[in-house]
Amino acid sequence: MEQNNQEFDENKVDWYQTDQGGQPVVTLKDKLMPKAKPVIIVVASILVSLLAIVLVYSAVKYFYSTSDAKKIEQDTMLYIEACQSQKDVQKCIDNASPQLAQETGNKEYCTSLTGDRYDSCLVLSALTSHLIDDCKGIQNIETKNQCNDAITALTLPLNYTYEDCSDYIDSNNREQCQASWVFDTMVAGDCDHPQITSQMCEDGAKISEAITKRNPDICDDITDILLARNCIELTSPGDRDFDNVDADEETRQGTSDTDSDSDDDGLMDGEELFKYNTDPTNADTDGDGYSDGEEVLSGHDPLK
């Protein structure tokens, strides 16, 4: 008999667990494997898909970030080239980034600047984009808060609520916003808000009647001194828009007695006339492309 010299290989042998009779027993692993295999395939497919999405997103983000950087560089170079024809070339070049940030509302034009110039640039960008998030990068806390409140004022809806006023950081701005809302609401006869008492509701009705009839005598029935004074101003040649300019002066200046900011430049008529000496009927008094309000907010002179 020939001797079989082939080595024994246990990997080629089927091993089973057996019962007492020596019969193969199907293990838990044998039962689960047919069911687990499709699950493993599905999970693997999902992971591959997610990886592909991440790779595509990263590529797209890199492409657009690179494209934006190139566009900003190109726009800046074109602006600088155009400055060569200006009287003050260096001043024009220095204003390139802020001007482009204001025109586009893109704060990325400000990245090459530092210090106060960087903060001013972000303010100009935010005033165009109307995005409070653009104010967050401002380093000077006071300027940042002013930027926040300016954008809050610009984006405050016409039908704003008492609660909307909490978006103001400066307590004076917040309280003024709340007081204006309470006054307008009580005069309109809407007395459901907890900030409006029954007495305020009654006074509001009297103010509304006095305005409608243009009769300041009705204001005498209002017990609250401040409300009575406001009532008289609203029914006589007073300061109906609370901009510190009375009706007679508003007529002489050609401004509105019902709109506190006649030229919509961010400064009240009284501020323009008595504080900054700017034209309350011209949003850009010095004609340099920046509104009076933008220049004041960014620390520039609105007359130069």
Residue type, 84: Q
CB-based burial of residue 142 (10 Å sphere; 0-12 exposed, 13-18 middle, 19+ buried)?
Answer: exposed
**Residue with token string 């309350």:** 280
pTM assigned to the model: 0.57
Helices (H), 156-193: 171-187
pLDDT digits (tens, 9 = 90+) for 227-271: 998 888 888 766 767 788 877 788 889 998 878 899 998 898 989
Mean pLDDT by 10 residues, the chain (304 residues): 51 52 58 60 70 58 56 78 81 85 88 91 93 93 94 90 94 93 90 90 92 86 89 75 81 87 90 91 90 85 88
Q: Distance between CA 95 and CA 295 in Å, rounded?
A: 13
Which pLDDT score is estimated for 13? 45
What does the buried/exposed string (b/e) look like for 284-302 if buried means 16 or more CB atoms within 10 Å of the residue's CB?
Answer: bbbeeebbbbbbbbbebeb
Which pLDDT score is estimated for 109? 87
Terminal-residue alpha carbon distance, the chain: 117
Q: Distance between CA 202 and CA 150 in Å, rounded?
A: 34
Residues 6 or more apart in contact with residue 244 via CB below 8 angstroms: 268, 269, 270, 271, 274
Per-residue tokens: 263: 């030229």
Which pLDDT score is estimated for 65? 47
